[in-house]
Structure 1
Amino acid sequence: MKTRERFKAIMNFQSFDRLPILEWASWWDKTIARWREDGLPSSLQDRYELCRHFGMDIYYQHWFPSSLPGLPEPSCHGAGIISTLDDYKKIRPLLFPQDKSILLDKRVFSKWAKEQRSGDAVIWFTLEGFFWFPRRLLGIEPHLYSFYDQPELLHTINEELADYHIHAINTICEECQPEFMSFAEDLSYNNGPMLSEEHFDQFLLPYYKKLIPYLKERGILAFVDSDGDLSKALPWFERAGVDGLLPLERQSGLDLVCLREKHPGMRFLGGFDKMCMSKGELAMRAEFERLLPVASQGGFILGCDHQTPPEVSLQNYRIYLRLFHEYAQKAAC
């Protein structure tokens, strides 16, 4: 099977020849710096050059910008850049770019689309989600208060964000038909979601309901990307029509076997506990064994449950890849 055919077979719960070998998120700069000291050639700079060097399948990702250069920066981590609807109106000219040349580089996409058409690559894209983006503007704590104190502001932001996303989807679909996309949300932590189901239904669901059908009409699977324990929020996203979740952080307590039993039609990506990768072959093999039964069922693309941490030596990463290839074959059905 070629890369694109394999992805579609797995996502459709059909027979496949092996699992994809991939790192769905770009590596941390600190991890790459560590590996340079371990002997990784300095000539390898590009994310996809590194993928090819490590013998991985190519999954091209494009992250759509939701703002223009010149948008004010927060004063510190977690701070916001607006507090009121009037503040939002002032920065509005710097949000939601309409110029297609800003949204994507056609020269890059021409190359990507050619590989995709030949079956040798998968293309996916990321949009800032309806929890993520207002938080970026308001700041972490003020955003949580805004569900109670400034509902009009939240709806205004998300209504305009949804319209922008439709423009972004149309723009990328002029160049190719992506296999899937992700909404960047990060709305959970290790004790569960940071909002109630009531607030999800009021402030996020209407905008998912607007976009998900639009994606499905174009044959694009919709994933939600959130760290933390998403098990409680998973049924909410099912109601919204979301097709899959990533990255399924093991340290948050997520049990992929349990998730699959309760949500048999949901697709998953990730799930491999990054914390075991520095502990050697036996620990990594045990983690692959844990995930193998679900991987064999289809609908699950195994991968690191976040970016590979810098504690992982290049030697251990190569062991991880060797085991990944072994279990990718074992999972074939």
Structure 2
Amino acid sequence: MTLTENVSAILHEKPYDYMPVVSFGFWNETLQKWAEEGHITNEEAQGYAQYGDNSPSDQSVMKKLGFDFNWNSCFVTNCGLSPTFEPQVLERRADQSYVMRDEQGLIVLQKDGIVSIPAEIGTTLTDRDVWEKEYLPKLQWNKNRVDFDALNRIKTQERTIPVGIHCGSLAGYMRNLLGFEQFCYLQADDEDLFAEIADTIAELCYQNTKTALESGVQFDYAHFWEDICFKNGPMISPDEFDQYFGRHYKRITDLLSEYGIDIVSVDCDGLIDALVPVWLKNGVNTMFPIEVGTWNASIASWRAQYGNRIKGVGGMNKTVFAKDFEAVDREIERLIPLIKAGGYIPCPDHRIAPDAKFENVQYYCSKLREACLKETK
């Protein structure tokens, strides 16, 4: 069986030859450190920083470590503002931090050398007038949002890994435009505007997905991005999430089904349990990643509740990469029963951080492959 056939068989709970070792990329700082240590080249580190997931540099680093492919290997369309805002520094502060308006119109506090998410201060999207003048015209569909040359390359080149279609982001991208506070307030302050923004973004995602599918490229899975949960749960109630976004998910997943795509994953950080039923109801069946986090998320509890309706990719505790081989061994031992239960492919949750030791990641890839082969014999 090919790698793609194995992935499909595992997630459809059919017999398979081997368990692929899946990646979710790296922090740029991680690859810089590994380049300084001599494990990879500077060109690989710089190439990943510039081109990201599934780039030649990503593939080269994964090969050295022992990963088979990056789940984030998706064809991506432009589902956002076009054009974006020109980044603009609005204020410089005495502590060397500065306030700026970013490409999405958010007002954020930043400081050079800090790589964490910037602190939100406000948003340009403050009312309906601004929405209609500054945002709505930039969220209209046109064919330039789809890279037809890239689609043709996918269609004509030999494929050695599964290739997904990225269907965009509904609530998550809306949050990127509004900021967390305004996203929450707007649901109460102006329900009509909240719904109009949601509908506009969703229509753009649908049209981009439809155009890519109509190109004739055969995709192996579909993927959404959200990031709308914290460690204690979602930033929107499940009922409102279903009200504003559920039917849009269903419309897109029904379209995917028409093209034979029945593995549909969503990347949403945080404690997502309250939203899982809404996703399942509306055609999303694969959770990626599955954050071990402080709440110990696991595919096991979801499978116990929802059966084989739910599938998963993720759930590997990447913090062991900063420790030793024994810690990696214990983590693999924890993963094996989850793998044996079916419908699940382990993957480090989120990008591998700078505290990871190159040799530990190599060891994980080798030992996981070895352990899974023993289980399939």
- In the superposition, the TM-score normalised over structure 2's length comes to 0.81
Is 1:84–2:84 an aligned residue pair? no
The 5-angstrom pairing of residues 180-329 of structure 1 reads 180-220=221-261, 221-253=263-295, 254-265=297-308, 266-329=310-373
- 1:276 maps to amino acid: V
The CA distance in 1 between the partners of 2:84 and 2:282, in whole Å, is 34
Q: Which runs of 4+ in 1 moved over 4 A?
A: none
The 5-angstrom pairing of residues 65-214 of structure 1 reads 65=78, 66-72=80-86, 73=102, 74-76=106-108, 77=118, 78=120, 79-90=122-133, 91-100=135-144, 102-104=145-147, 106=149, 108-115=150-157, 120-173=160-213, 174-214=215-255
SS in 2 for 1:268: strand
Is the CA contact 2:169–2:225 (under 8 Å) kept in the aligned structure 1?
yes
The CA distance in 1 between the partners of 2:148 and 2:324, in whole Å, is 41
The CA distance in 1 between the partners of 2:174 and 2:234, in whole Å, is 16
Q: Which residue in 2 is equivalent to 1:64?
A: 77
Name structure 1 gaps, 5 residues minimum.
Answer: none
- 1:140 maps to amino acid: F
- The verdict on how the C-alpha distance between 1:327 and 1:95 changes in structure 2, with shifts beyond 3 A counting, is farther
Is 1:15–2:15 an aligned residue pair? yes
Q: How much has 1:310 moved relative to structure 2?
A: 0.7
Is the CA contact 1:191–1:228 (under 8 Å) kept in the aligned structure 2?
yes
- The verdict on how the C-alpha distance between 1:26 and 1:2 changes in structure 2, with shifts beyond 3 A counting, is same
Q: Aligned pair count?
A: 328
SS in 2 for 1:122: coil
Is 1:29–2:69 an aligned residue pair? no
Is 1:47–2:58 an aligned residue pair? yes
The CA distance in 2 between the partners of 1:128 and 1:80, in whole Å, is 21
SS in 2 for 1:43: helix
- The verdict on how the C-alpha distance between 1:217 and 1:32 changes in structure 2, with shifts beyond 3 A counting, is same
SS in 2 for 1:283: helix
Name structure 2 gaps, 5 residues minimum.
Answer: 48-56, 87-101, 109-117
Is the CA contact 1:185–1:225 (under 8 Å) kept in the aligned structure 2?
yes
SS in 1 for 2:124: coil
Q: How much has 1:96 moved relative to structure 2?
A: 4.4
Q: Which moved more, 1:264-273 or 1:188-197?
A: 188-197
Q: How much has 1:114 moved relative to structure 2?
A: 4.0
The CA distance in 2 between the partners of 1:302 and 1:167, in whole Å, is 32
Q: Which has the higher contact order (CA 8 A, sep 6+)?
A: 1
Q: How much has 1:105 moved relative to structure 2?
A: 5.2
- 1:267 maps to amino acid: K
SS in 2 for 1:135: helix
The CA distance in 2 between the partners of 1:291 and 1:122, in whole Å, is 23
Q: How much has 1:324 moved relative to structure 2?
A: 2.6
- 1:75 maps to amino acid: I
- 1:263 maps to amino acid: Y
The CA distance in 1 between the partners of 2:341 and 2:140, in whole Å, is 40
Q: What CA RMSD, in Å, does the superposition of the two structures yield over aligned residues?
A: 2.1
Q: How much has 1:327 moved relative to structure 2?
A: 3.0
Is the CA contact 2:66–2:366 (under 8 Å) kept in the aligned structure 1?
no
Is the CA contact 1:158–1:207 (under 8 Å) kept in the aligned structure 2?
no
- 1:246 maps to amino acid: F
The CA distance in 2 between the partners of 1:154 and 1:180, in whole Å, is 30
Q: How much has 1:35 moved relative to structure 2?
A: 1.0
Q: Deviations over 1:283-319 (max 9, x none)?
A: 1221111121121233111101111111002122222
